[in-house]
């Protein structure tokens, strides 16, 4: 499991060498020293952001889900002030729930008046008016 030790960015910035390389991604403090040789994108990119918050860079590359799941393996703690969301996204699903309810209530409300009622309300007066004018026109001709 991921560690819960809390580090400040200034503490992380003291680990920026090839032999001791830390960085921050999404509030997780990662010790990627052992990963430098194995990183498919090369060690240089990791060393460039060593000791820093590399969240932007990590996201901009468009890392795969597999890469994102690897983060926990290198986590040594969290950045001060961050609340780490669980990988299964539970929080996000809960946040969306009220919206869905609101939407379904809206749809049910809209369905309450049957469609034929609208048809009758609109077309019956039109039919009556049309018949009247046809009658007037026909009686003028005769």
Residue ranges in contact with ligand HEM by CB under 6 A: 25, 30, 32, 35, 39-41, 45-46, 49, 54, 57-58, 61, 63-64, 66-67, 70-71, 74
CA distances from 37 to 9, 20, 60 (A): 24, 13, 21
* Calpha distance 111→13 (Å, rounded): 59
Q: Which is nearer to ligand HEM, 70 or 84 (CB)?
A: 70
Q: Which is nearer to ligand HEM, 40 or 110 (CB)?
A: 40
Tell the smallest beta-carbon distance from residue 39 to ligand HEM (Å).
6
Tell the smallest beta-carbon distance from residue 73 to ligand HEM (Å).
8
Reference 49, options 73, 62, 32, 65; nearest CA is: 32
Tell the smallest beta-carbon distance from residue 60 to ligand HEM (Å).
8
Reference 18, options 40, 41, 48; nearest CA is: 48
Q: Which is nearer to ligand HEM, 19 or 99 (CB)?
A: 19
Tell the smallest beta-carbon distance from residue 88 to ligand HEM (Å).
19
Asked whether 78 and 4 are in contact (CB, 8 A), the reply is yes
* Calpha distance 100→78 (Å, rounded): 33
Tell the smallest beta-carbon distance from residue 47 to ligand HEM (Å).
9
Helix/strand/coil for 142: coil
Q: Which is nearer to ligand HEM, 45 or 129 (CB)?
A: 45
Q: Which is nearer to ligand HEM, 50 or 103 (CB)?
A: 50
* Calpha distance 30→20 (Å, rounded): 11
């Amino acid at each position: 499991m991921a560690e819960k030790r809390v580090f400040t960015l200034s503490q992380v910035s003291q680990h920026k060498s090839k032999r001791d390389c830390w960085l921050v991604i999404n509030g997780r403090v990662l010790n990627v020293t052992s990963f430098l040789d194995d990183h498919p994108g090369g060690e240089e990119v990791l060393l460039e952001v060593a000791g820093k918050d590399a969240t932007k860079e990590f996201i901009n590359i468009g890392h795969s889900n597999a890469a994102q799941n690897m983060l926990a393996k290198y986590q040594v703690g969290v950045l001060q002030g961050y609340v780490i969301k669980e990988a299964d996204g539970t929080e996000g699903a809960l946040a969306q729930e009220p919206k869905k309810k609101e939407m379904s209530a809206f749809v049910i409300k809209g369905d309450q008046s049957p469609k034929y009622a609208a048809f009758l309300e609109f077309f019956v007066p039109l039919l009556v008016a049309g018949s009247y004018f046809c009658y007037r026109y026909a009686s003028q001709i005769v």
